[in-house]
Chain A
């Protein structure tokens, strides 16, 4: 980067059309509040809630214009819970799509029209809707989607598995991975604000590990219910709003890429580059609003555990258990997968001799991501991996690390 992020003055810039202090257009008890105040200054209250309830509680404060639901229960109750919010008057529009594919198309329509739009899906739903995600990104639609990850393959599984995140990585969306219910709450609201910055203005997928986060209760610190994000400001959009004569909408019926010559190919290539550039631009905002794209502990250790999502939580306990045996292990938690915190991971891992990457998927995509950017990548130990809904006991991480270091007993 040509400029370091100023963490001291991390005020995220709002619109000139902001209506701070005005009553919400949807609920008379809610007031448009400076995001900085909601995120960093408001007095929070601990609540004991499930991850699904956290999605509801975040969207209750999001000044949402439209939520499109496909009820993919039992993976998450969030879509139904948001329906209750609509009944209580907290959001502008709510309806059920015919399928996940239809839902994502309907979200695009709402967002093209200038509505702050959200939805949620998981596993096979994500895969069924996949064609729409690059379309959202290419059209610069700042839609918020919460992905409560589950298995995607046959035989079907409704248990947690993060393989679907891998498919989302190159769609042109921002992809953030929550470790806990608190992360999920924070990432949903902060993600909306980052996604709507005019230099970013791309969709954001906030992912969490299904069941472990969605169905278990955890203590989450929530700001007051009357504080809501300022509304979406379509005047800051980097593309014209819903103009049938101009790209991106025009492309739906008359793609300029269909003209077979260099100029049109170059235009399309530049268009793709601009979408991915927008994701890169989100670094500056995400860095400030998330206190960095990664979280680290004890980077002076020779052994580092690097991962995202609930694999980090299991890793934290494994680190504690290893510490009791005199084996010191540091931690790198990756919060944003797109943009990937390349510089940060390079710096954090520069002195590590062993980099352990536990993951909740069969292929180990996170380990590949890390191996692709660091020097001497034989330092990376891929795994342990579990998938299909298996848990990853901390003891298993401990055992694998000890095996890797040659410390495990033969009977192990």
Chain B
């Protein structure tokens, strides 16, 4: 059995992919926590606690839930908003995967090619990716693990992400809502959110974006 643990970083100049270190993804009904395969309920519990313990808990919704390409995507987006309000957490979108030139605006966006910039700028210490294509999610998760101390989580619609510290698989509206319910239950039991106060999108930038190919 592998001794490798998928812990928050900063791990290395170029950390290994968790898969190459022998970490195997969970099967249906299971979750992944720092390299261990656990019953899914355990993952809900820890994910909710990590969000409530964090100073800057943040949700990173990706294009699969930000764009209304089918009814399920819209329902997932609503479920994500319910989760953000329950924690409460910031929402910083990963609207697409285009490299951002000349530079990203880290207050309002995250990009899989340099996600650490958004993490550093906002001092994000716990985050979850939802609705990001698997390849781009793994890319971002590994870069974050390499250079930041953020606790990374992933709610994957497919097989899960071993490069996240904590991962769910087969994400659905019901699973997002179950995480929300777990957060609300913990709060009812007396666990208080340690998050800093904030307003969504407090920096009302007028974005002047010029595509690099023009």
A153 at the interface (CB under 8 A from B): no
A199 to B28, alpha carbons, bound, how many Å?
A: 14
Q: Are A273 and B1 neighbours in the complex by a CB distance under 8 Å?
A: no
Identify which of A3, A238, A240 contacts B24 (C-beta below 8 A): A3
> Which has the most chain B C-beta neighbours within 10 Å: A273, A276, A283?
A273
Identify which of A197, A236, A263, A281 contacts B113 (C-beta below 8 A): A263
A318 to B51, alpha carbons, bound, how many Å?
A: 62
Q: Are B134 and A266 neighbours in the complex by a CB distance under 8 Å?
A: no
Binds A, one of B40-48, B81-89, B135-143, B173-181: B135-143
Q: A1-B22, A198-B158, A254-B212 are in contact. Are A274 and B139 (CB under 8 A)?
A: yes
* Count of A interface residues, CB-CB < 8 Å: 39
Q: Mark B1-24, 1 if CB is under 8 A from A, else 0.
A: 110000000000010111110111
Residues of B within 8 A of A254 (CB): 99, 212-213
Leading 8 A-B pairs by shortest Cβ distance: A238-B134, A277-B17, A277-B19, A198-B158, A199-B159, A238-B135, A256-B99, A280-B19
Residues of B within 8 A of A256 (CB): 99, 113
Binds B, one of A163-171, A219-227, A242-250: A242-250
Residues of B within 8 A of A240 (CB): 63, 97, 133
Q: Mark A1-13, 1 if CB is under 8 A from B, else 0.
A: 1110010000001
A246 to B134, alpha carbons, bound, how many Å?
A: 14
Q: Are B135 and A239 neighbours in the complex by a CB distance under 8 Å?
A: yes
Residues facing B in A251-267 (CB within 8 A) are: 253-254, 256, 259, 263-264, 266-267
Residues of B within 8 A of A273 (CB): 14, 16-17, 20, 142
Q: Are B2 and A274 neighbours in the complex by a CB distance under 8 Å?
A: no
Q: A140-B135, A237-B133, A246-B98 are in contact. Are A269 and B20 (CB under 8 A)?
A: no
Q: Give the bracket for the number of chain B residues in contact with chain A.
A: 35 or more
A95 at the interface (CB under 8 A from B): no
Q: Are B14 and A271 neighbours in the complex by a CB distance under 8 Å?
A: no
A273 to B37, alpha carbons, bound, how many Å?
A: 22
Residues of B within 8 A of A278 (CB): 19
Q: Are A2 and B35 neighbours in the complex by a CB distance under 8 Å?
A: yes
B130 at the interface (CB under 8 A from A): no
Other A-B pairs, 19, CB within 8 Å; known A3-B26, A256-B113, A280-B20: A1-B22, A198-B159, A199-B160, A201-B134, A201-B135, A239-B133, A239-B134, A247-B113, A253-B213, A254-B213, A256-B99, A259-B99, A263-B113, A263-B114, A264-B113, A266-B114, A269-B14, A270-B142, A271-B139
Residues of A within 8 A of B23 (CB): 1-2
B61 at the interface (CB under 8 A from A): no
Q: Which residue of B lies closest to A282 (CB)?
A: B19
Residues facing B in A130-144 (CB within 8 A) are: 140
A193 to B14, alpha carbons, bound, how many Å?
A: 32
Q: Are A199 and B134 neighbours in the complex by a CB distance under 8 Å?
A: yes
Q: Mark A171-205, 1 if CB is under 8 A from B, else 0.
A: 00000000000000000000000000111010000
Q: Mark A197-236, 1 if CB is under 8 A from B, else 0.
A: 1110100000000000000000000000000000000001
Q: Are B159 and A239 neighbours in the complex by a CB distance under 8 Å?
A: no
B25 at the interface (CB under 8 A from A): yes
